[in-house]
């Protein structure tokens, strides 16, 4: 499986394009504004087709490229229902975003929950609900590769902010301890912003949530 990190949008947000040229399929995790312009050339080069878009949470910097991707690639979108208002009425966050960014609703085709599994790229992917940064925060764990796409729950040396509407610091800590820190230490953590890390490194040195 190829993993392409594609930072995009006004606040650089990491989208991840996961592809399997042998199967001709690709999946996108998160959709910052304008990311399709980075996704399309990779699909063409690899000869892969985008088959799904999975959203880690409803914050606008992760979702505002989704409508374009649905229009261009015709994929179905999966997310957690607790962020439904953020997906369907992104204007609720207008006061935090400022007037200059146009906001577009994202229609979710499949609501995912904790413990669900997804079949993609010839693999089984485990879905975890990791609320705290956002009520509908999800993580996507590939047990075969030992890689987790955790959105904005956990960062290298940091954790997601909890001061936005729906944020909850103690809930975030519980999510990290029970869903992320229980993964194998060597698991690669690919976050919604910034650099990669591992579960072991964060358990050892994360100043916000020690393992």
Q: Which residues bind Zn ion (CB under 5 A)?
A: 59, 152
The whole-angstrom separation of Cα 117 and Cα 113 is 9
Shortest Å distance, C-beta 123 to Zn ion: 26
Minimum CB separation from Zn ion for residue 133, in Å? 6
Tell me the closest approach of the beta carbon of residue 124 to Zn ion, in angstroms. 26
Query: Closest distance between Zn ion and the C-beta of residue 132, in Å?
Result: 11
| Helix 36-46 × helix 66-73 angle, to 10° | 40
- Other residues' Cβ atoms within 10 Å of the Cβ of residue 171: 17
- CA 130 to the chain's CA centroid: 11
φ, ψ of residue 204 in degrees (nearest 5): -75, -40
Query: Closer CB to Zn ion, residue 1 or residue 202?
Result: 202
Q: Which is nearer to Zn ion, 85 or 143 (CB)?
A: 85
In terms of Cα–Cα distance, which of 179, 114, 111, 119 is closest to 144? 119
Q: Are 59 and 94 in contact (CB under 8 A)?
A: no
Nearer to Zn ion, 42 or 93 (CB): 93
- Closest separation between CB of residue 205 and Zn ion, Å? 23
* Calpha distance 133→153 (Å, rounded): 6
In angstroms, what is the minimal distance from the CB of 122 to Zn ion? 30
Instruction: Tell me the C-alpha distance between 59 and 82, whole Å.
Output: 12
Q: Which is nearer to Zn ion, 23 or 171 (CB)?
A: 171
C-beta closer to Zn ion: residue 152 or 202: 152
H/E run at residue 150: strand 147-151
By beta-carbon proximity to Zn ion, the closer residue of 73 and 127 is 127
Q: How far apart are CA 27 and CA 20, in angstroms?
A: 9
Residue nearest to Zn ion as judged by C-beta position: 59
């Amino acid at each position: 499986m190829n993993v392409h990190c594609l930072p995009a949008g006004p606040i650089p947000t990491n989208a991840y394009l996961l592809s399997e040229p042998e199967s001709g399929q690709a999946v996108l995790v998160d959709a910052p504004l304008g990311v399709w312009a980075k996704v399309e050339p990779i699909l063409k080069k690899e000869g892969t087709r985008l088959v799904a878009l999975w959203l880690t949470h409803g914050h606008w910097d992760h979702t505002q490229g989704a409508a374009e991707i649905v229009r261009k690639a015709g994929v179905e979108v999966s997310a957690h229902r607790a962020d439904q208002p953020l997906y369907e009425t992104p204007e609720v966050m207008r006061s935090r975003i400022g007037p200059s960014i146009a906001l577009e609703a994202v229609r979710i085709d499949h609501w995912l929950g904790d413990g669900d599994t997804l079949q993609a790229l010839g693999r089984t992917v485990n879905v975890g609900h990791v609320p705290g940064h956002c009520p509908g925060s999800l993580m996507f764990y590939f047990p075969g590769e030992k890689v987790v796409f955790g959105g904005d729950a956990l960062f290298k040396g940091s954790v997601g902010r909890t001061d936005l509407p729906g944020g909850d610091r103690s809930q975030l800590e519980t999510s990290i301890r029970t869903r992320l820190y229980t993964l194998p230490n060597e698991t690669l953590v690919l976050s919604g912003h910034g650099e990669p890390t591992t579960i072991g490194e964060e358990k050892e040195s994360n100043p916000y949530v020690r393992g």
